[in-house]
Amino acid sequence: MGSDTICYIKSDLKNKFSYFKFEKDTVFQRNKADKNNNLVFILHGEMEVIYGDLYPRLISGGNMILLTPLSRCVCKAVSTVELIILGFGTLNHSCDKYIFQNLTPFFSLIKYEFRELEIRESLDRFLQLMQNYEQNQVPMADLASRKIQELFIILHAYYTSDELAMLFYPLLGKNMEFKKLVVDYYLHVKSAGEFAELCGYSQGVFQKKFKDVFGETVYQWMQRQKAEYIKHRLMTSEVNLKELADELNFASSVHLNKFCKIWFGMTPSEVRQTFILKKNLR
């Protein structure tokens, strides 16, 4: 995928259904600053998806995926693609919360794997109605919260707990408010001290709580996020290595080179070339 992308999910789409249509060969992705979660329903067409450092996979119409603020995902329309996207933050309705609370016990029982989930008949009828509303510009301000509630009732009724737990895995577990704080601020900090201050904690308390929730230190987590971001950028764009080093505040491309050798055992150029070779062999 080239470096030109269209940011298709805007940060103001919270608690709202939106319809999108992308022509063949269009490359699109989330807005980097978007703090919402996005439930993406592929209505028609086929798209190639690179999620994190996974190799491209084709996802066709009749499926849905979840993207969060931590998701690194770039999509390319293999044919004309039509999507309905729900942008949502914290779920406020008691029914929505109840469904997520019921899924929480599955958090420690399953190993997360990013994959699509089939859109079943009852959900498809609901999405057709939402598409009709969007295309005919039906005012949705008063309806949106009720439609979101209806969506989660449909999901609860027609999907198993195992299926929903895998789909919503990134949103499950304890201390979701703390996780949301971390997601909201991690792009704006350069150190654990800055992170703690921005989140309103003393550094000691923040470090302990962070380790309890994420299973690693703040520094380890931030370094891993940086490594995943670098690999994703190398896989999905033609970004110049000096530009990438500047973007991530490395002193020089030499320092970026050393960082990649530590994390991946190879240089940035080798990471990119390895991805290209493996993609061509698929």
Is there a single domain that holds both residue 156 and residue 209? no
Q: Please tell me the total count of domains within the chain.
A: 2
Is there a single domain that holds both residue 160 and residue 233? no
Is there a single domain that holds both residue 53 and residue 147? yes
Whether 1 is covered by a domain: the verdict is no
Among residues 153, 171, 189, which one ends one of the domains?
Answer: 171
Is there a single domain that holds both residue 88 and residue 20? yes
Whether 109 is covered by a domain: the verdict is yes
Give me 108's structure tokens.
Answer: 């420690």
Per-residue model confidence (pLDDT) at position 13: 59
| Residue 134, phi then psi, degrees to nearest 5 | -65, -45
Which helix (H) or strand (E) segment holds residue 223: the answer is helix 218-236
What confidence tens digit (pLDDT) does each residue in 61-86 have? 999 999 988 888 889 999 999 999 99
| CA-closest candidate to residue 130, choices 121, 140, 115 | 140
Which helix (H) or strand (E) segment holds residue 83: the answer is strand 81-88
Among residues 171, 206, 240, which one ends one of the domains?
Answer: 171
Is there a single domain that holds both residue 145 and residue 190? no
Per-residue model confidence (pLDDT) at position 123: 98
- The pTM of this model reads 0.78
Give me 222's structure tokens.
Answer: 């931030």
Residue 273 domain boundaries: 176-281
Asked if residue 11 lies in contact with residue 33, where contact means CB atoms within 8 angstroms, the answer is yes
Per-residue model confidence (pLDDT) at position 122: 96
Is there a single domain that holds both residue 162 and residue 181? no
| CA-closest candidate to residue 92, choices 174, 177, 18 | 177
Alpha-carbon distance of 247 to 241, in angstroms, equals: 10
For 210-216, the CB contacts below 8 A with 24+ separation are 210/182, 212/175, 213/173, 213/174, 213/175, 213/178, 213/179, 213/182, 214/182
Per-residue model confidence (pLDDT) at position 164: 93
Please give the chain's pLDDT, 282 residues, in tens: 544 445 555 545 577 898 999 999 998 888 777 778 899 999 999 999 988 877 788 999 999 999 988 888 889 999 999 999 998 876 655 556 667 777 877 777 778 889 999 999 999 999 999 999 888 888 877 788 889 889 999 999 999 999 999 999 888 876 777 888 888 888 788 889 999 998 899 999 999 999 988 889 999 999 998 998 899 889 888 889 999 999 898 999 999 999 999 999 999 999 998 887 776 655
| CA-closest candidate to residue 100, choices 34, 177, 40, 183 | 177
Name every residue whose Cβ is closer than 8 Å to that of residue 196 and which is 6 or more positions away in sequence.
202, 203, 205, 206, 207, 218
Assign residue 58 the CATH number of its domain.
2.60.120.810
Per-residue model confidence (pLDDT) at position 11: 46
Assign residue 261 the CATH number of its domain.
1.10.10.60
Whether 77 is covered by a domain: the verdict is yes
Is there a single domain that holds both residue 126 and residue 214? no
